[in-house]
Amino acid sequence: MVVGSVARGCQVVVIGAGPGGYVAAIRAAQLGKDVILVEKEERLGGVCLNVGCIPSKALIHAADLADELRGAKKMGLKVEGLYVDLPQMVRWKDGIVQRLTGGVKFLCEKSGIDVVHGHAEFVSDRKLAVATSDGRVDIDFEAAIIATGSRPMGLDGFPHDGEKIIGSSEALSLQTVPDRLVVIGAGYIGLELGMVYAKLGSKVSIVEFLPELVPDLDPEVAKALARRLKKLKIDLHLEHRAERFEEGTPSVVVAQGPDGELRLEADVVMMSVGRVPNSDGLALDKVGVTTDEKGFIQIDDRMRTSIPGIYAIGDVVGGVLLAHKAYQEAKVAAEVIAGEPAAFDNAAVPAVIYTDPEVAWSGLTEREAADQGYSVVTGTFPFSASGRAMSLDSTDGFVKAIADADSKRLLGVVAVGRGVSEFIGEATLALEMGAFLEDVALTIHPHPTMSEAFQEAVEAALGRAVHIVNT
């Protein structure tokens, strides 16, 4: 056991081993840098890998499979006595997480990265103090990358106890399916996990302060999601402000809406009202790193903060809070530190909501394109006209291509439907390469697939759709 203070030095120290942090550490090591990675938790991978992106998708897949089995009768598949063993489902999910976190640890070891577990604070613009279980480790560095991520936002009136009032982390490890689940917030996480538990047998109600779902996207996206929520018998209460939780038999969530007070019985309440950056606790004020009024660290396109030699990436810098955005920012930061000509371009950052149906988009929405002064042309192909969607019994949704009407350059893509997460990468590649509608239209897509709807949408924008009527 080490007692007291131990001094160490490195060229690059990375604070936080989430998607951004471990990628930054590995990339810096690839570029020949001596790297120390600091992580306060026992396992590497951060929120995304341990209690976020990966485990939630495992439960989503399991819930989707259960729902499909129940509805397979019309296909000639009769499943009797389907039983949801939630503890086994959670164990299966945990096994996936364990394998992946172990993989990250292995990669860091093979890259020669020194991992220190503990809480880091800045002592100066070239020194960190890390409080470990064995004492204090002082780390002198040439460059630091802050990758501390974000955490769920709380809400007055709903004291988090991890049992009746939970966050998404606890929702991924419940041992019983709640009879009545109230979700506060209709953001991505709230919609995803709300649908999961509805499919597993919960009576789900969602309370949302805003007047519409996914307000930044196409109105048809919200309509498709609303239809599915209704089919799953999820009660959606828009324009309602959640006020308090009243514990009792039964416990009740109280909200205020256009028609007055709403009272919803709840066995479990899941909070999903946004996230705040983990920039506090780093003693940033000691070194003068600038943050905005919400605590997000301010950076330029090279991930540089206001203090030379200190960089920041991922959720802690704001913008879209997505793991793959953090991946790219991590590579940029490491490469800039190594003297490479790198910069972050956020013109086309794909995003996915893993609801049923999935929602995916990249580039500009139709509204954003118009706001930026473009004369907009769009083409939409509905999955109701797709043979592959019919064969999958998943015809709800569409693909919309958004383009500049004058140059015919592709500006954005919005998609709703089964598996759209798997081809939004193609759309992003087209956007990154500055593709025109003609480029996509001339790209032969395999048939029958869901992805060919992208080509069909582009052809509709050109006025030469074949499998739908041109408008």
Q: Which residues are catalytic?
A: 447
The Cβ of residue 299 has, within 10 Å, a number of other Cβ atoms equal to 24
How far apart are the C-alpha atoms of 465 and 332, rounded to whole Å? Answer: 40
Residue with token string 């939409």: 380
DSSP string covering 193-258: HHHHHHHHT-EEEEE-SSSSSSTTS-HHHHHHHHHHHHHTT-EEE-S-EEEEEE-SSS-EEEEEET
Q: 115 Cβ partners below 8 Å, 6+ apart?
A: 17, 36, 37, 38, 39, 44, 105, 108
CA end-to-end span of the chain: 74
| 73, 171, 219, 361 from 229: Cα distances, Å | 21, 19, 15, 20
Structure-token pair, residue 257: 């809406």
- Give percent helix, percent strand, percent coil of the chain, each to the nearest 5: 35, 25, 40
How far apart are the C-alpha atoms of 412 and 348, rounded to whole Å? Answer: 8
Residue 85, amino acid: D
How far apart are the C-alpha atoms of 134 and 4, rounded to whole Å? Answer: 8
State the alpha helices, DSSP H only, in 317-404.
323-337, 366-371, 387-391
With residue 150 as reference, give the H or E element that holds it: strand 150-152
Strand partners for 150: 277
The Cβ of residue 247 has, within 10 Å, a number of other Cβ atoms equal to 12
